[in-house]
Amino acid sequence: MPLRYHYLTRLGIIGGGQLAKMMALKARAMGFHISILDPSPHAPAALLADRHVLGGYHDPRKLRELVDACDITTYDLENIDAETLLALEKGGHRIAPSAQTLQIIQDKLTQKQTLADQGIPVPRFVEVDTLDEATAKAFGYPLVQKLRKGGYDGRGVAVLQTPDDLANKLEGPSMMEELVDIDKELAVMVARSKSGHIKCHPLVEMVFDPIANICDVVMAPALVDKKHEQEALAIASSAIEALDGVGIFGVELFLTTEGKILLNEIAPRTHNSGHYTIEACITDQFEQHLRAIMDLPLGATDLLIPAVMVNLLGSTGGQGTPEIQGMRKAMDIPGLSFHLYGKAETRPFRKMGHFTVIDRDVHQARTKAQTARQLLKVVAIQPTEET
């Protein structure tokens, strides 16, 4: 039996990936008993968990098994059975963010409509069941098609510049969104407790891999003026209030070439754009999430030192057992911290780890990070056998 303190200690995490692993590291330091639900016995968070429920994220029986054994349950991904979680909540179980919040965010159209209804500035969008030439023409090119459900890390998104691109359209219920002229892509981690208290981490700037459309580099702080910074933080905070969110949320925004701030998407969990907080902030995103869902006082979010975070993506040369190359030379760079997620297989563009470089000058941090990314490679040394 785990020790019982004056606050709840049995934490359940749906998902066992890198976000769950980093959350479990912080939860263990804070004295929580940790249970995870993941279909893989070798999930990154498995070695840190006190209990591992082997099962899928859409298995009602396994979800109930996890939730029944915990005082509070959270998650590290959105693609889970929200209906079962809603029923468990109605039965008295604590889940944060709530199943209702999750349901809104899972559906990109519902998410966008909910935000627009609350006056949150978002790109122009419309629902589309079947995308054809007439529908696209009526909306106007260029446009972005997004599947309503299931997309992540660039998947489920198609950019259609002209009618010729309709050959690349996505099949399934989706939405069309205007292709915004972007000056910068921004993000902020917003934490909201059950009591309604809100704190934001610093606004950051994201750079995306042009091929995989995956967040590649995060710079903290974002190089924007004070007006746009304050506007972005206010919009992000208002969005989480509109969703009645409890926990920490990754809020992605656009700064347009016209100087407008528009909200792009929200993730109801810790987020890739917040990894820099581990080295650079008083309270990192994982501890802040735990504080928020437990309704404990939220921690200070001050940026102690500028930072640049870079994702370590699997190389394009195949898939198989990962080998990290260049670590010794990279670790010799002052201010660099290395995080390896412990995934058993690498494949092209899979997130295998990240590194963060801190420096008193964000430009120097960026230069050091560029040097490190030339050194660090994740390659497959043992191809996976085809079945």
* CA–CA–CA angle 328, 334, 340 (5° rounding): 50
Q: What percent of the chain has pLDDT over 90?
A: 88
Average confidence (pLDDT) over 108-116:
97
CB of 276 within 8 A of CB of 220?
Answer: yes
**Model pLDDT for residues 219-233, shown as the tens digit of each residue:** 999 999 999 999 999
Q: How far is it, in rounded angstroms, from Cα 289 to Cα 24? A: 11
Confidence of residue 243 (pLDDT cuts 50, 70, 90): very high
Torsion sign, CA atoms 97, 98, 99, 105: negative
What predicted TM-score, i.e. pTM, was given to this entire model?
0.93
Q: Measure the CA–CA gap between 107 and 82, rounded to whole angstroms.
A: 11
Grouping H, G, I as helix, E, B as strand and the rest as coil, residue 316 is: coil
Tell me the pLDDT band of 381, cut-offs 50, 70 and 90: confident
| The pLDDT of residue 318 | 82
Is the pLDDT at 384 greater than 70, yes or no? no
**Model pLDDT for residues 291-330, shown as the tens digit of each residue:** 999 999 999 999 999 999 999 999 987 889 999 999 999 9
Q: Does residue 18 or residue 211 have the better pLDDT?
A: 18
Distance CA 9, CA 296 (A): 13
The mean pLDDT value for 254-283 works out to 97
Q: What pLDDT is attached to residue 201? A: 98
Residue 220's nearest CA partner among 195, 196, 242, 188 is 188
Mean of the per-residue pLDDT values for the chain?
93
Cα–Cα distance list, 254 to 32, 53, 188, 205, 258 (Å): 37, 39, 11, 10, 11
Question: What average pLDDT score do residues 86-93 get?
Answer: 97
**Do residues 298 and 291 make contact, with C-beta atoms less than 8 angstroms apart?**
yes
| Side chain identity at residue 333, one-letter code | I
Burial class (CB in 10 A: 0-12, 13-18, 19+), 266: buried
Domain boundaries in the chain? 10-95, 124-178, 182-383
**Nearest partner of 301 among 317, 288, 314, judged by Cα:** 288
pLDDT score of 135 more than 90? yes
Which of the two residues, 172 and 184, has the higher pLDDT score?
184
Helix, coil or strand: residue 201: coil
The predicted pLDDT at position 154 comes to 66
Instruction: Kindly give the pairing relationship between strand 336-340 and strand 351-358.
Output: antiparallel
Going by the DSSP 8-state scheme, the letter that residue 23 receives in this structure is H
Alpha helices in 284-361 (DSSP H): 285-293, 327-330
**CATH of the domain spanning 182-383:** 3.30.470.20
Thinking of the domain 10-95, which architecture would CATH place it in?
3-Layer(aba) Sandwich (3.40)
Which pLDDT band holds residue 130 (cuts at 50, 70, 90)? confident
> According to DSSP H, which parts of 30-144 are helical?
60-68, 82-90, 99-106, 108-117, 133-139
Structure tokens at 93: 């179980």
From 75, 9, 56, 71, select the one nearest 270 (Cα to Cα).
75
Question: Does 3.30.1490.20 match the CATH number of domain 124-178?
Answer: yes
3-state secondary structure of 286: helix
Whether the Cβ atoms of residue 314 and residue 322 lie closer than 8 Å to each other: yes
Distance, in Å, from the CA atom of 364 to the CA atom of 308, rounded to the nearest integer, reads: 9
Q: What integer pLDDT is reported at residue 385 of this predicted model?
A: 54
Over residues 152-167, the pLDDT tens digits come to: 766 789 999 999 999 9
Measured CA to CA, the distance from residue 171 to residue 156 in angstroms comes to: 9
Query: Tokens in use for 67?
Result: 């939730």
- Average pLDDT for 203-209: 91
How confident is the model at residue 23, as a pLDDT? 98
> What confidence score (pLDDT) does residue 387 get?
39
Secondary structure (3-state) at 56: coil
